[in-house]
Structure 1
Amino acid sequence: MEKEPVQYQLFRKIFSAERMVFRIGELSAMTGVSSRQLRYWEQKNYIQAMERGDEQAARSYRFREYARVMGIKYFQDQGYTLSASVKKINEYIDMANFVHVFVKEAIQTIEDYGDHIEIDLGWFDEATQQRLIAVQKDGKVTYKIIER
C-alpha cells in the first residue's frame, strides 16, 4: 500500500474532529444554547452526548454535535420550529457527508508549485489516459486535462 503524503497525515492529525470534545457548559457558551435546552434536545434524540463510563461525569459532546447544535440554532433564529430546524440541519449534514466522501475519494495528490497549487482529481476518461487537474492560482480555480 502506498504511504499517505505528509500533508494528509498532518491535516488528519491537526483537524481531527474526534479530538475536539466539549463539556455541556462549553458547548452552551460556544453556541448560545442553554444547558437546559441541550439536555432537552438530547432527550429528544436531536443531539447525542458521548458515552460516559461514570454517571457523575459531565456531559461531553464531539465536534459533530457542536455543528449540529449551531445548525439547529441557526434555523431556529431564522424562524423555523425546533423539529423543522432539526430536519433542515439533517439535510445539510447529509449533503456535507456526501461532499466529504466525494472530495476524499476525488483528491489524489496536492502539489504546491509556489505560485499555484495543483490538485489531481483522478482519471478523466474510462481508458485511464487523461487526468483531471484543478489549478488554484491568484484566488481562481481552473481545470486542465493532462495525458498520462
Structure 2
Amino acid sequence: MEKEPVQYQLLRQIFSAERMVFRIGELSSMTGVSSRQLRYWEQKDYIESMQRGDEQAARSYHFREYARVTGIKYFLDNGYTLSAAVKKVNDYINMANLVHVFVKQAIKNVDDRGDHIEIDLGWFDEAAGQRLIAVQGSGKVTYKIIER
C-alpha cells in the first residue's frame, strides 16, 4: 500500500469539512437564509444540524450543510419551488460525491515544480509501463505520458 504524500495529509487537515462548523446565526448570515427558514428546512429533513448533547445549545451545522443551504437558496432565487430546489441540490451533491471519489482515487501524487504543477494520474496502460501526468501551468492543463 502506498503511503499518502505529506501534502495530502496537510491539506486534509487544513480543509477538513468536518472541522468547519457554523452556528445557526452564522449560517443564516453567510447564506442570507433566515434562522427561521433554516429550522423549517431542518424540520422537513432538507438540511441536518449536528447532534447536540445539550438541547439548550445553539444549532450548529457542518460545512456540507452550508453548501446545501447555499445551493437551495440559489435555486429558490432562480424561481424553483423549495422541493424542486432541494431535489436539484441533491442531484448536484450526488454528482459532486462521485467526482470526489474519482479524483481521490485518480490522483496518485502532486508535485510542485515551481513554474507548474504535475499531477500523477496513475498507470495509463494495463501493463503498468506508462504513467499519465497532468501538467497545470500558464493557465492551462496539458497531459504527458511518462515511460517507466
With structure 1 as the length reference, what TM-score do the two structures score? 0.97
CA-CA distance at 1:103 after TM superposition: 0.5
Q: How does 1:1-148 map to 2 (within 5 A)?
A: 1-148=1-148
Q: Distance in 1 between matches of 2:38 and 2:112?
A: 43
Q: Distance in 2 between matches of 1:36 and 1:122?
A: 48
CA-CA distance at 1:77 after TM superposition: 0.3
CA-CA distance at 1:19 after TM superposition: 0.4
With structure 2 as the length reference, what TM-score do the two structures score? 0.97
Runs of 4+ in 1 over 2 A off after TM superposition: 1-4
Q: What secondary structure sits across from 2:114 in the alignment?
A: coil
* CA RMSD, Structure 1 to Structure 2 (Å): 0.9
Q: Deviation digits for residues 30-64 of structure 1, max 9, x if unmatched? A: 00000000000000000000001111111100000
State which drifts further: 7-16 or 69-78. Answer: 7-16
Q: What secondary structure sits across from 2:3 in the alignment?
A: coil
Structure 1 stretches lacking a partner, 5+ long: none
CA-CA distance at 1:2 after TM superposition: 3.8
Aligned length: 148
Letter in 2 for 1:76: L
Structure 2 stretches lacking a partner, 5+ long: none
CA-CA distance at 1:136 after TM superposition: 0.9
